[in-house]
Protein backbone atom coordinates (compact mmCIF):
# COMPACT_ATOMS: atom_id res chain seq x y z
CA UNK A 1 0.00 0.00 0.00
CA UNK A 2 2.86 2.37 0.87
CA UNK A 3 4.52 1.62 -2.47
CA UNK A 4 1.31 2.42 -4.38
CA UNK A 5 0.86 5.68 -2.45
CA UNK A 6 4.45 6.72 -3.13
CA UNK A 7 4.11 6.00 -6.86
CA UNK A 8 0.82 7.95 -6.98
CA UNK A 9 2.41 10.96 -5.21
CA UNK A 10 5.37 10.92 -7.57
CA UNK A 11 3.01 10.79 -10.53
CA UNK A 12 1.01 13.75 -9.26
CA UNK A 13 4.17 15.78 -8.56
CA UNK A 14 5.55 14.92 -12.00
CA UNK A 15 2.33 16.03 -13.65
CA UNK A 16 2.31 19.33 -11.77
CA UNK A 17 5.98 19.85 -12.64
CA UNK A 18 5.33 19.04 -16.30
CA UNK A 19 2.33 21.36 -16.43
CA UNK A 20 4.38 24.25 -14.95
CA UNK A 21 6.95 23.88 -17.73
CA UNK A 22 4.22 23.96 -20.36
CA UNK A 23 2.72 27.03 -18.71
CA UNK A 24 6.08 28.76 -18.86
CA UNK A 25 6.34 27.99 -22.55
CA UNK A 26 2.81 29.03 -23.48
CA UNK A 27 2.02 31.94 -21.15
CA UNK A 28 3.87 34.58 -23.17
CA UNK A 29 5.33 36.02 -19.95
CA UNK A 30 8.73 34.35 -20.21
CA UNK A 31 11.77 33.95 -22.37
CA UNK A 32 12.87 30.36 -22.12
CA UNK A 33 15.44 27.96 -23.46
CA UNK A 34 15.47 24.20 -23.48
CA UNK A 35 18.39 21.76 -23.46
CA UNK A 36 18.69 17.98 -23.56
CA UNK A 37 21.59 15.66 -22.92
CA UNK A 38 22.64 12.54 -21.11
CA UNK A 39 24.22 14.70 -18.39
CA UNK A 40 22.72 17.54 -16.37
CA UNK A 41 25.60 19.99 -16.92
CA UNK A 42 25.51 19.73 -20.70
CA UNK A 43 21.70 19.90 -20.78
CA UNK A 44 21.84 23.00 -18.58
CA UNK A 45 24.45 24.64 -20.79
CA UNK A 46 22.35 23.91 -23.88
CA UNK A 47 19.29 25.42 -22.19
CA UNK A 48 21.17 28.60 -21.34
CA UNK A 49 22.46 28.89 -24.90
CA UNK A 50 18.91 28.47 -26.20
CA UNK A 51 17.64 31.10 -23.74
CA UNK A 52 20.23 33.63 -24.93
CA UNK A 53 19.23 32.84 -28.51
CA UNK A 54 15.55 33.50 -27.74
CA UNK A 55 16.41 36.82 -26.10
CA UNK A 56 18.50 37.68 -29.15
CA UNK A 57 15.42 37.35 -31.35
CA UNK A 58 13.65 39.88 -29.11
CA UNK A 59 16.62 42.25 -29.21
CA UNK A 60 16.77 41.96 -32.98
CA UNK A 61 13.27 43.37 -33.27
CA UNK A 62 13.77 45.93 -30.50
CA UNK A 63 17.12 47.39 -31.48
CA UNK A 64 16.82 50.11 -34.06
CA UNK A 65 19.42 50.00 -36.76
CA UNK A 66 22.62 51.79 -35.81
CA UNK A 67 23.74 51.44 -39.41
CA UNK A 68 22.39 49.62 -42.43
CA UNK A 69 23.80 46.13 -42.76
CA UNK A 70 22.97 42.88 -44.49
CA UNK A 71 20.57 40.62 -42.60
CA UNK A 72 23.17 38.02 -41.66
CA UNK A 73 25.60 40.68 -40.39
CA UNK A 74 22.83 42.36 -38.43
CA UNK A 75 21.78 39.05 -36.88
CA UNK A 76 25.35 38.43 -35.81
CA UNK A 77 25.48 41.96 -34.37
CA UNK A 78 22.32 41.52 -32.30
CA UNK A 79 23.46 38.15 -31.04
CA UNK A 80 26.75 39.65 -29.90
CA UNK A 81 24.81 42.39 -28.09
CA UNK A 82 22.68 39.80 -26.33
CA UNK A 83 25.74 37.92 -25.15
CA UNK A 84 26.84 41.03 -23.28
CA UNK A 85 23.78 40.59 -21.07
CA UNK A 86 24.56 36.94 -20.41
CA UNK A 87 26.00 37.45 -16.91
CA UNK A 88 23.01 39.46 -15.71
CA UNK A 89 20.56 37.16 -17.51
CA UNK A 90 22.03 33.89 -16.31
CA UNK A 91 22.24 35.08 -12.73
CA UNK A 92 18.45 35.58 -12.74
CA UNK A 93 17.43 32.66 -14.93
CA UNK A 94 15.49 29.99 -13.05
CA UNK A 95 15.80 26.31 -13.82
CA UNK A 96 13.57 23.27 -13.98
CA UNK A 97 14.86 19.75 -14.59
CA UNK A 98 13.07 16.65 -15.87
CA UNK A 99 15.05 13.45 -15.61
CA UNK A 100 14.28 10.51 -17.87
CA UNK A 101 15.84 7.09 -18.12
CA UNK A 102 18.50 8.03 -20.68
CA UNK A 103 18.08 11.79 -20.98
CA UNK A 104 17.97 14.90 -18.84
CA UNK A 105 15.84 17.82 -20.00
CA UNK A 106 16.45 21.32 -18.59
CA UNK A 107 14.47 24.50 -19.12
CA UNK A 108 15.96 27.87 -18.22
CA UNK A 109 13.61 30.84 -18.07
CA UNK A 110 13.37 34.50 -17.15
CA UNK A 111 10.32 36.77 -17.07
CA UNK A 112 10.02 39.52 -19.65
CA UNK A 113 9.75 41.97 -16.79
CA UNK A 114 13.11 40.81 -15.48
CA UNK A 115 14.69 41.35 -18.88
CA UNK A 116 13.26 44.87 -19.00
CA UNK A 117 14.83 45.48 -15.59
CA UNK A 118 18.22 44.35 -16.93
CA UNK A 119 17.91 46.82 -19.81
CA UNK A 120 16.90 49.56 -17.36
CA UNK A 121 19.92 48.83 -15.17
CA UNK A 122 22.21 49.19 -18.16
CA UNK A 123 20.63 52.56 -18.98
CA UNK A 124 21.35 53.75 -15.44
CA UNK A 125 24.96 52.64 -15.83
CA UNK A 126 25.24 54.56 -19.12
CA UNK A 127 24.20 57.72 -17.31
CA UNK A 128 26.49 56.98 -14.33
CA UNK A 129 29.53 56.76 -16.59
CA UNK A 130 28.60 60.04 -18.24
CA UNK A 131 28.41 61.67 -14.81
CA UNK A 132 31.84 60.26 -13.95
CA UNK A 133 33.20 61.51 -17.27
CA UNK A 134 31.84 65.02 -16.73
CA UNK A 135 33.35 65.13 -13.25
CA UNK A 136 36.71 63.89 -14.54
CA UNK A 137 36.63 66.52 -17.28
CA UNK A 138 35.86 69.23 -14.74
CA UNK A 139 38.81 67.97 -12.64
CA UNK A 140 41.04 68.06 -15.75
CA UNK A 141 41.54 64.28 -15.63
CA UNK A 142 41.25 64.00 -19.39
CA UNK A 143 42.31 60.36 -19.61
CA UNK A 144 39.59 59.33 -17.16
CA UNK A 145 37.03 61.48 -18.97
CA UNK A 146 37.80 59.77 -22.31
CA UNK A 147 37.56 56.38 -20.65
CA UNK A 148 34.20 57.00 -19.04
CA UNK A 149 32.66 58.67 -22.11
CA UNK A 150 33.78 55.73 -24.22
CA UNK A 151 32.50 53.11 -21.76
CA UNK A 152 29.18 54.92 -21.74
CA UNK A 153 29.13 54.84 -25.55
CA UNK A 154 30.00 51.14 -25.57
CA UNK A 155 27.14 50.31 -23.22
CA UNK A 156 24.82 52.56 -25.21
CA UNK A 157 25.54 50.61 -28.38
CA UNK A 158 24.41 47.45 -26.61
CA UNK A 159 21.06 48.88 -25.46
CA UNK A 160 17.84 48.11 -27.39
CA UNK A 161 16.84 51.80 -27.25
CA UNK A 162 20.25 53.12 -28.25
CA UNK A 163 18.84 55.50 -30.85
CA UNK A 164 16.37 57.07 -28.42
CA UNK A 165 18.30 57.58 -25.18
CA UNK A 166 19.01 61.24 -24.37
CA UNK A 167 21.11 63.00 -21.75
CA UNK A 168 22.41 66.56 -21.20
CA UNK A 169 26.12 66.31 -22.03
CA UNK A 170 27.15 69.94 -21.98
CA UNK A 171 24.35 72.31 -21.06
CA UNK A 172 20.78 71.75 -19.97
CA UNK A 173 19.52 70.47 -23.33
CA UNK A 174 19.15 66.72 -23.64
CA UNK A 175 20.98 65.27 -26.62
CA UNK A 176 20.57 61.97 -28.43
CA UNK A 177 23.60 60.12 -27.11
CA UNK A 178 24.23 57.88 -30.09
CA UNK A 179 25.50 60.94 -31.97
CA UNK A 180 26.41 63.26 -29.08
CA UNK A 181 28.86 60.90 -27.37
CA UNK A 182 31.04 60.28 -30.47
CA UNK A 183 31.07 64.03 -31.10
CA UNK A 184 32.18 64.64 -27.52
CA UNK A 185 34.97 62.05 -27.66
CA UNK A 186 36.20 63.34 -31.03
CA UNK A 187 36.19 66.89 -29.72
CA UNK A 188 38.26 65.96 -26.65
CA UNK A 189 40.78 63.99 -28.67
CA UNK A 190 41.13 66.90 -31.11
CA UNK A 191 42.06 69.24 -28.23
CA UNK A 192 45.02 67.11 -27.10
CA UNK A 193 48.33 68.72 -28.10
CA UNK A 194 51.68 66.94 -28.05
CA UNK A 195 55.33 67.87 -28.47
CA UNK A 196 58.67 66.11 -28.31
CA UNK A 197 60.62 67.53 -25.38
CA UNK A 198 63.73 65.40 -25.73
CA UNK A 199 65.24 62.64 -27.89
CA UNK A 200 68.13 60.47 -26.72
CA UNK A 201 69.95 57.91 -28.87
CA UNK A 202 71.98 55.13 -27.28
CA UNK A 203 73.35 52.13 -29.13
CA UNK A 204 70.34 50.60 -30.92
CA UNK A 205 67.58 52.43 -28.99
CA UNK A 206 66.00 55.86 -29.41
CA UNK A 207 64.22 57.29 -26.37
CA UNK A 208 61.58 59.88 -27.24
CA UNK A 209 60.04 61.96 -24.44
CA UNK A 210 56.67 63.47 -25.30
CA UNK A 211 54.61 66.01 -23.42
CA UNK A 212 50.83 65.81 -23.87
CA UNK A 213 48.74 68.92 -23.17
CA UNK A 214 45.04 69.71 -23.00
CA UNK A 215 43.88 73.33 -22.86
CA UNK A 216 47.52 74.37 -22.31
CA UNK A 217 47.84 72.16 -19.22
CA UNK A 218 49.58 68.79 -18.82
CA UNK A 219 47.14 65.95 -19.42
CA UNK A 220 46.26 63.97 -16.29
CA UNK A 221 45.50 60.22 -16.01
CA UNK A 222 46.50 59.84 -19.64
CA UNK A 223 47.70 56.68 -21.43
CA UNK A 224 48.89 55.79 -24.93
CA UNK A 225 50.49 53.11 -27.10
CA UNK A 226 52.93 53.55 -29.99
CA UNK A 227 53.99 51.64 -33.11
CA UNK A 228 57.28 49.78 -32.65
CA UNK A 229 57.80 48.81 -36.29
CA UNK A 230 56.19 45.39 -36.14
CA UNK A 231 53.60 45.66 -33.35
CA UNK A 232 51.99 48.12 -30.96
CA UNK A 233 53.60 48.75 -27.59
CA UNK A 234 52.19 47.96 -24.18
CA UNK A 235 49.95 50.57 -22.57
CA UNK A 236 52.04 53.50 -21.31
CA UNK A 237 50.94 55.80 -18.51
CA UNK A 238 52.06 59.42 -18.24
CA UNK A 239 52.80 61.51 -15.19
CA UNK A 240 51.75 65.14 -15.40
CA UNK A 241 51.62 64.81 -19.17
CA UNK A 242 55.09 63.28 -19.74
CA UNK A 243 55.41 59.93 -21.52
CA UNK A 244 58.30 57.82 -22.79
CA UNK A 245 58.56 56.12 -26.20
CA UNK A 246 61.38 53.63 -26.80
CA UNK A 247 62.15 52.68 -30.41
CA UNK A 248 64.55 49.86 -31.25
CA UNK A 249 66.66 49.95 -34.42
CA UNK A 250 67.78 52.70 -36.76
CA UNK A 251 64.80 52.85 -39.10
CA UNK A 252 64.77 56.53 -40.06
CA UNK A 253 61.13 56.46 -41.15
CA UNK A 254 60.08 54.98 -37.80
CA UNK A 255 61.85 57.77 -35.92
CA UNK A 256 60.66 60.59 -38.18
CA UNK A 257 57.08 59.32 -38.18
CA UNK A 258 56.33 58.07 -34.68
CA UNK A 259 52.77 56.72 -34.61
CA UNK A 260 50.91 57.14 -31.33
CA UNK A 261 47.45 55.95 -30.32
CA UNK A 262 45.68 57.91 -27.63
CA UNK A 263 44.09 55.40 -25.27
CA UNK A 264 40.34 55.76 -24.85
CA UNK A 265 39.00 52.17 -24.63
CA UNK A 266 40.98 51.19 -21.51
CA UNK A 267 40.16 47.57 -22.23
CA UNK A 268 42.61 46.29 -19.61
CA UNK A 269 40.87 48.37 -16.95
CA UNK A 270 37.40 47.25 -18.00
CA UNK A 271 37.68 44.06 -15.98
CA UNK A 272 36.40 46.06 -13.03
CA UNK A 273 32.98 46.15 -14.74
CA UNK A 274 31.85 42.87 -16.34
CA UNK A 275 29.17 44.65 -18.41
CA UNK A 276 31.71 47.00 -20.00
CA UNK A 277 34.25 44.22 -20.42
CA UNK A 278 31.70 42.00 -22.19
CA UNK A 279 30.66 44.78 -24.57
CA UNK A 280 34.26 45.70 -25.44
CA UNK A 281 35.12 42.05 -25.96
CA UNK A 282 32.06 40.84 -27.87
CA UNK A 283 30.80 43.68 -30.04
CA UNK A 284 32.07 45.96 -32.78
CA UNK A 285 32.03 49.42 -31.26
CA UNK A 286 33.18 52.78 -32.65
CA UNK A 287 36.82 53.40 -33.50
CA UNK A 288 38.10 56.97 -33.46
CA UNK A 289 40.57 57.57 -36.28
CA UNK A 290 41.78 60.91 -34.94
CA UNK A 291 43.10 59.11 -31.84
CA UNK A 292 46.07 58.00 -33.93
CA UNK A 293 48.61 60.78 -34.29
CA UNK A 294 52.18 61.03 -35.56
CA UNK A 295 55.21 63.17 -34.75
CA UNK A 296 58.80 63.59 -35.84
CA UNK A 297 61.17 62.62 -33.04
CA UNK A 298 64.06 64.47 -34.71
CA UNK A 299 62.39 67.87 -34.84
CA UNK A 300 60.59 70.45 -32.74
CA UNK A 301 62.48 69.78 -29.54
CA UNK A 302 60.60 71.80 -26.99
CA UNK A 303 62.10 74.17 -24.45
CA UNK A 304 61.32 72.77 -21.01
CA UNK A 305 59.94 75.22 -18.47
CA UNK A 306 61.83 74.52 -15.26
CA UNK A 307 60.32 76.89 -12.71
CA UNK A 308 57.91 75.24 -10.30
CA UNK A 309 55.55 77.78 -8.78
CA UNK A 310 53.45 75.19 -6.94
CA UNK A 311 55.71 75.22 -3.87
CA UNK A 312 55.79 78.98 -3.25
CA UNK A 313 53.77 78.38 -0.10
CA UNK A 314 56.83 76.66 1.39
CA UNK A 315 59.14 79.42 0.20
CA UNK A 316 56.96 81.96 1.98
CA UNK A 317 57.09 79.79 5.12
CA UNK A 318 60.89 79.58 5.00
CA UNK A 319 60.84 75.83 4.37
CA UNK A 320 62.80 75.81 1.08
CA UNK A 321 66.53 75.11 1.25
CA UNK A 322 69.26 75.19 -1.41
CA UNK A 323 68.82 72.07 -3.54
CA UNK A 324 72.29 72.29 -5.12
CA UNK A 325 73.92 70.38 -2.26
CA UNK A 326 71.75 67.36 -3.11
CA UNK A 327 71.95 67.38 -6.93
CA UNK A 328 75.21 65.42 -7.19
CA UNK A 329 73.90 62.73 -4.83
CA UNK A 330 70.65 62.48 -6.77
CA UNK A 331 72.56 62.11 -10.05
CA UNK A 332 74.65 59.26 -8.63
CA UNK A 333 71.53 57.50 -7.37
CA UNK A 334 69.78 57.90 -10.71
CA UNK A 335 72.72 56.34 -12.51
CA UNK A 336 72.88 53.43 -10.04
CA UNK A 337 69.17 52.74 -10.51
CA UNK A 338 69.40 52.76 -14.31
CA UNK A 339 72.35 50.34 -14.44
CA UNK A 340 70.79 48.21 -11.69
CA UNK A 341 73.68 48.42 -9.20
CA UNK A 342 72.61 50.40 -6.15
CA UNK A 343 75.53 49.07 -4.10
CA UNK A 344 77.50 51.88 -5.76
CA UNK A 345 75.59 54.42 -3.63
CA UNK A 346 75.17 52.48 -0.39
CA UNK A 347 77.35 55.08 1.37
CA UNK A 348 74.76 57.75 0.50
CA UNK A 349 72.00 55.97 2.45
CA UNK A 350 71.12 55.05 5.99
CA UNK A 351 70.38 51.36 6.54
CA UNK A 352 66.63 52.03 6.27
CA UNK A 353 67.14 54.30 3.27
CA UNK A 354 69.14 51.59 1.49
CA UNK A 355 66.34 49.05 2.07
CA UNK A 356 63.89 51.44 0.44
CA UNK A 357 66.28 52.11 -2.44
CA UNK A 358 66.43 48.34 -2.97
CA UNK A 359 62.62 48.17 -3.09
CA UNK A 360 62.60 51.01 -5.62
CA UNK A 361 65.21 49.24 -7.74
CA UNK A 362 63.22 45.99 -7.61
CA UNK A 363 59.91 47.67 -8.52
CA UNK A 364 60.49 47.43 -12.28
CA UNK A 365 62.88 48.27 -15.09
CA UNK A 366 63.71 51.93 -14.54
CA UNK A 367 64.22 54.64 -17.14
CA UNK A 368 64.82 58.28 -16.21
CA UNK A 369 62.45 60.90 -17.63
CA UNK A 370 63.64 64.47 -18.35
CA UNK A 371 62.98 66.99 -15.59
CA UNK A 372 60.21 69.35 -16.65
CA UNK A 373 60.59 71.37 -13.47
CA UNK A 374 63.58 72.09 -11.25
CA UNK A 375 64.20 69.93 -8.21
CA UNK A 376 62.90 71.50 -5.03
CA UNK A 377 64.26 70.87 -1.51
CA UNK A 378 61.74 71.30 1.33
CA UNK A 379 62.78 71.06 4.98
CA UNK A 380 60.22 69.50 7.26
CA UNK A 381 60.56 67.76 10.63
CA UNK A 382 64.40 67.93 10.54
CA UNK A 383 64.50 66.17 7.17
CA UNK A 384 64.89 67.48 3.62
CA UNK A 385 62.51 66.27 0.90
CA UNK A 386 63.97 66.61 -2.60
CA UNK A 387 61.08 66.65 -5.08
CA UNK A 388 60.84 65.08 -7.57
CA UNK A 389 62.68 62.82 -10.03
CA UNK A 390 60.44 61.45 -12.82
CA UNK A 391 61.02 57.79 -13.68
CA UNK A 392 59.39 55.26 -15.98
CA UNK A 393 58.80 51.71 -14.70
CA UNK A 394 58.18 48.75 -17.00
CA UNK A 395 57.55 45.13 -16.12
CA UNK A 396 58.75 42.02 -17.92
CA UNK A 397 55.60 39.95 -17.56
CA UNK A 398 52.95 42.63 -17.94
CA UNK A 399 51.59 45.03 -20.53
CA UNK A 400 51.74 48.28 -18.57
CA UNK A 401 54.26 51.04 -17.96
CA UNK A 402 53.96 53.65 -15.22
CA UNK A 403 55.62 57.02 -14.72
CA UNK A 404 56.20 58.11 -11.13
CA UNK A 405 57.87 61.18 -9.64
CA UNK A 406 60.19 59.96 -6.90
CA UNK A 407 60.94 61.93 -3.74
CA UNK A 408 64.23 61.37 -1.91
CA UNK A 409 64.33 62.21 1.81
CA UNK A 410 67.65 63.17 3.44
CA UNK A 411 68.31 63.15 7.18
CA UNK A 412 70.33 65.78 9.03
CA UNK A 413 73.57 63.96 8.16
CA UNK A 414 72.83 64.30 4.43
CA UNK A 415 72.01 60.62 3.83
CA UNK A 416 68.89 59.20 2.19
CA UNK A 417 66.61 57.84 4.90
CA UNK A 418 63.34 57.41 2.98
CA UNK A 419 61.83 57.34 -0.52
CA UNK A 420 58.29 57.93 -1.72
CA UNK A 421 56.19 58.43 -4.86
CA UNK A 422 54.66 61.87 -5.37
CA UNK A 423 50.95 62.51 -5.66
CA UNK A 424 49.79 63.99 -8.96
CA UNK A 425 49.81 67.76 -9.41
CA UNK A 426 46.04 68.08 -9.06
CA UNK A 427 46.01 66.17 -5.76
CA UNK A 428 48.91 68.26 -4.45
CA UNK A 429 47.14 71.48 -5.39
CA UNK A 430 43.96 70.30 -3.65
CA UNK A 431 45.94 70.08 -0.40
CA UNK A 432 48.13 73.16 -0.78
CA UNK A 433 45.29 75.43 -1.88
CA UNK A 434 43.36 74.93 1.36
CA UNK A 435 42.84 78.15 3.32
CA UNK A 436 45.42 79.23 5.90
CA UNK A 437 42.73 78.84 8.58
CA UNK A 438 42.58 75.13 7.73
CA UNK A 439 46.29 74.52 8.11
CA UNK A 440 49.61 76.27 7.76
CA UNK A 441 52.43 75.29 5.44
CA UNK A 442 53.93 72.81 7.94
CA UNK A 443 50.62 71.02 8.48
CA UNK A 444 49.85 70.92 4.76
CA UNK A 445 53.20 69.34 4.03
CA UNK A 446 52.58 66.82 6.79
CA UNK A 447 49.32 65.76 5.12
CA UNK A 448 51.01 65.62 1.72
CA UNK A 449 53.92 63.57 3.05
CA UNK A 450 51.57 61.16 4.82
CA UNK A 451 49.52 60.48 1.69
CA UNK A 452 52.65 60.01 -0.39
CA UNK A 453 54.09 57.57 2.15
CA UNK A 454 50.77 55.72 2.19
CA UNK A 455 50.67 55.45 -1.61
CA UNK A 456 54.30 54.36 -1.78
CA UNK A 457 53.82 51.66 0.84
CA UNK A 458 51.32 49.91 -1.46
CA UNK A 459 53.44 50.38 -4.59
CA UNK A 460 56.66 49.17 -2.99
CA UNK A 461 55.10 46.48 -0.82
CA UNK A 462 56.10 48.08 2.50
CA UNK A 463 54.25 45.80 4.88
CA UNK A 464 56.40 47.05 7.77
CA UNK A 465 55.17 50.63 7.26
CA UNK A 466 51.53 49.58 6.92
CA UNK A 467 51.71 47.47 10.09
CA UNK A 468 53.07 50.48 11.90
CA UNK A 469 50.71 53.13 10.53
CA UNK A 470 47.42 51.29 11.13
CA UNK A 471 46.26 51.54 14.74
CA UNK A 472 45.80 48.15 16.42
CA UNK A 473 42.08 48.80 16.80
CA UNK A 474 41.66 50.42 13.37
CA UNK A 475 38.27 50.17 11.70
CA UNK A 476 38.92 48.73 8.22
CA UNK A 477 36.00 48.42 5.82
CA UNK A 478 36.23 46.77 2.40
CA UNK A 479 33.02 46.80 0.41
CA UNK A 480 30.31 49.10 -0.81
CA UNK A 481 29.31 51.03 2.27
CA UNK A 482 29.81 51.20 6.01
CA UNK A 483 26.95 50.30 8.33
CA UNK A 484 26.41 50.24 12.08
CA UNK A 485 28.54 47.96 14.20
CA UNK A 486 27.51 46.87 17.65
CA UNK A 487 31.00 47.57 19.03
CA UNK A 488 32.13 51.11 18.16
CA UNK A 489 35.82 51.87 17.93
CA UNK A 490 36.41 53.64 21.22
CA UNK A 491 32.99 55.29 20.72
CA UNK A 492 34.47 57.11 17.71
CA UNK A 493 31.94 56.68 14.96
CA UNK A 494 28.28 57.49 14.84
CA UNK A 495 25.49 55.08 13.96
CA UNK A 496 25.17 55.19 10.20
CA UNK A 497 22.00 53.17 9.89
CA UNK A 498 21.48 49.67 8.58
CA UNK A 499 20.28 50.92 5.22
CA UNK A 500 23.84 51.58 4.03
CA UNK A 501 24.14 48.18 2.39
CA UNK A 502 26.62 45.38 3.09
CA UNK A 503 30.28 45.55 3.96
CA UNK A 504 33.21 43.43 4.99
CA UNK A 505 34.93 44.52 8.17
CA UNK A 506 38.50 43.37 8.71
CA UNK A 507 40.77 43.44 11.70
CA UNK A 508 44.19 45.00 11.25
CA UNK A 509 45.74 41.52 11.28
CA UNK A 510 43.33 40.25 8.61
CA UNK A 511 43.86 43.28 6.40
CA UNK A 512 47.67 43.17 6.66
CA UNK A 513 47.65 39.46 5.84
CA UNK A 514 45.46 40.13 2.81
CA UNK A 515 47.93 42.79 1.63
CA UNK A 516 50.84 40.43 2.17
CA UNK A 517 49.22 37.87 -0.14
CA UNK A 518 48.51 40.54 -2.78
CA UNK A 519 52.08 41.84 -2.74
CA UNK A 520 53.53 38.34 -2.99
CA UNK A 521 51.24 37.33 -5.86
CA UNK A 522 51.79 40.34 -8.13
CA UNK A 523 54.74 41.54 -10.18
CA UNK A 524 53.61 45.07 -9.42
CA UNK A 525 51.00 47.09 -7.55
CA UNK A 526 50.37 50.74 -8.38
CA UNK A 527 47.82 53.21 -7.06
CA UNK A 528 46.96 56.68 -8.31
CA UNK A 529 44.91 59.27 -6.41
CA UNK A 530 42.74 62.11 -7.65
CA UNK A 531 39.81 64.40 -6.69
CA UNK A 532 40.67 64.42 -2.98
CA UNK A 533 38.91 66.33 -0.22
CA UNK A 534 40.64 66.93 3.14
CA UNK A 535 38.75 67.98 6.27
CA UNK A 536 39.93 68.62 9.79
CA UNK A 537 38.07 66.88 12.61
CA UNK A 538 40.20 68.10 15.48
CA UNK A 539 43.70 69.34 16.15
CA UNK A 540 45.94 67.19 13.90
CA UNK A 541 43.09 64.74 13.26
CA UNK A 542 42.14 64.73 9.58
CA UNK A 543 39.83 62.90 7.24
CA UNK A 544 40.63 62.56 3.55
CA UNK A 545 38.26 61.35 0.83
CA UNK A 546 40.04 60.45 -2.35
CA UNK A 547 39.33 58.63 -5.61
CA UNK A 548 41.74 55.72 -5.93
CA UNK A 549 42.76 53.93 -9.11
CA UNK A 550 44.31 50.57 -8.24
CA UNK A 551 46.38 48.53 -10.67
CA UNK A 552 48.14 45.21 -10.21
CA UNK A 553 49.44 42.46 -12.46
CA UNK A 554 46.22 40.49 -11.95
CA UNK A 555 43.52 43.05 -11.15
CA UNK A 556 42.47 46.68 -11.56
CA UNK A 557 39.69 48.76 -10.06
CA UNK A 558 38.59 52.26 -9.17
CA UNK A 559 36.88 53.21 -5.95
CA UNK A 560 36.64 55.78 -3.21
CA UNK A 561 38.93 55.73 -0.22
CA UNK A 562 38.40 57.39 3.14
CA UNK A 563 41.16 57.64 5.71
CA UNK A 564 40.92 59.09 9.19
CA UNK A 565 44.44 59.86 10.31
CA UNK A 566 45.98 61.16 13.52
CA UNK A 567 49.03 63.29 12.73
CA UNK A 568 49.71 64.56 16.26
CA UNK A 569 53.01 62.67 16.34
CA UNK A 570 54.84 63.54 13.12
CA UNK A 571 57.11 60.49 13.52
CA UNK A 572 54.33 58.08 14.34
CA UNK A 573 51.13 58.89 12.38
CA UNK A 574 48.16 56.56 12.83
CA UNK A 575 45.21 55.53 10.68
CA UNK A 576 42.12 54.87 12.78
CA UNK A 577 39.62 54.34 9.98
CA UNK A 578 40.05 53.10 6.42
CA UNK A 579 37.02 52.52 4.21
CA UNK A 580 36.84 51.69 0.54
CA UNK A 581 33.74 51.60 -1.65
CA UNK A 582 33.57 50.85 -5.38
CA UNK A 583 30.88 53.44 -6.04
CA UNK A 584 29.59 56.64 -4.55
CA UNK A 585 26.40 56.45 -2.53
CA UNK A 586 23.12 57.05 -4.40
CA UNK A 587 23.16 60.71 -3.30
CA UNK A 588 26.66 61.17 -4.74
CA UNK A 589 28.41 61.16 -1.36
CA UNK A 590 31.07 58.84 -0.02
CA UNK A 591 31.90 57.87 3.54
CA UNK A 592 33.58 60.80 5.24
CA UNK A 593 34.43 62.54 8.42
CA UNK A 594 30.83 63.57 9.15
CA UNK A 595 29.97 59.90 9.64
CA UNK A 596 32.06 59.84 12.81
CA UNK A 597 32.20 61.53 16.21
CA UNK A 598 35.20 62.40 18.37
pLDDT tens digit sequence for 153-195: 999 988 888 889 999 987 778 999 999 999 999 999 999 999 8
pLDDT tens digit sequence for 535-549: 888 878 899 999 888
| Residue ranges of E strands in 422-524 | 470-479, 503-506
CA distance 198 to 304: 9
Model pLDDT, residue 75: 52
What's the distance, CA 161 to chain centroid? Answer: 29
User: Which one-letter DSSP state was computed for residue 28?
Assistant: S
Q: What is the 3-state secondary structure (H, E, C) of 395-463?
A: CCCCCEEEEEEEEEEECCCCCEEEEEECCCHHHHHHHHCCCCCCCCHHHHHHHHHHHHHHHHHHHCCCH
Ordered alpha helix ranges (H), 63-111: 71-83, 86-92
CA distance 533 to 527: 17
Domains parsed from the chain with CATH numbers: 20-114 (3.10.28.20), 304-422 (3.10.450.50), 452-598 (3.10.450.50)
Model pLDDT, residue 449: 95
CA distance 595 to 544: 13
Model pLDDT, residue 169: 86
- How many CB atoms sit inside 10 A of residue 209's CB? 25
**Contact indicator for 278, 87 with CB cutoff of 8 Å:** yes
Note if the pTM is more than 0.85. no
Cβ neighbourhood burial of 522 (10 Å; 0-12, 13-18, 19+): middle
Model pLDDT, residue 351: 96
Q: Calculate the alpha carbon distances from 402 to 222, 302, 409, 495 in Å.
A: 11, 23, 22, 41
- Ordered mean pLDDT values, 10 residues apiece, the chain (598 residues): 46 46 86 91 88 70 44 51 60 84 89 85 92 88 93 89 88 89 95 89 84 89 90 88 86 83 89 82 81 81 61 89 95 96 97 96 91 90 95 86 94 96 88 86 93 96 95 82 37 37 79 94 89 84 89 83 91 92 80 80
**DSSP H helix total and E strand total for the chain:** 16, 25
Amino acid sequence: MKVITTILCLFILSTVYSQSIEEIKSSGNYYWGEGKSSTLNIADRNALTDLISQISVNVKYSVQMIKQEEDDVYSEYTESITKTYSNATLSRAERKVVEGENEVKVIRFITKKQLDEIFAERKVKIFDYIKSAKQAEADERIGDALKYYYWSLALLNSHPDCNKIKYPLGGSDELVLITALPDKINSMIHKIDYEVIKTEKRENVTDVYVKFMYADKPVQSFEFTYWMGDTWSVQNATKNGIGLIQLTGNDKDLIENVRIRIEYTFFNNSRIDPDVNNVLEMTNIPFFKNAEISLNADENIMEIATENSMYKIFQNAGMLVDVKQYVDKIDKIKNALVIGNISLVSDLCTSEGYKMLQKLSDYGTIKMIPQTTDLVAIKYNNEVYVRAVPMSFSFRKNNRNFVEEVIFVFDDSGKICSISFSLGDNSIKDILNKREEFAGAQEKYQILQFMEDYKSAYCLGRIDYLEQVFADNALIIVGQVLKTDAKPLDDMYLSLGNERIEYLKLTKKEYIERLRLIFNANEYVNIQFDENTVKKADEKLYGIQIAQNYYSATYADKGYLFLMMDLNDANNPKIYVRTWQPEKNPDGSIIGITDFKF
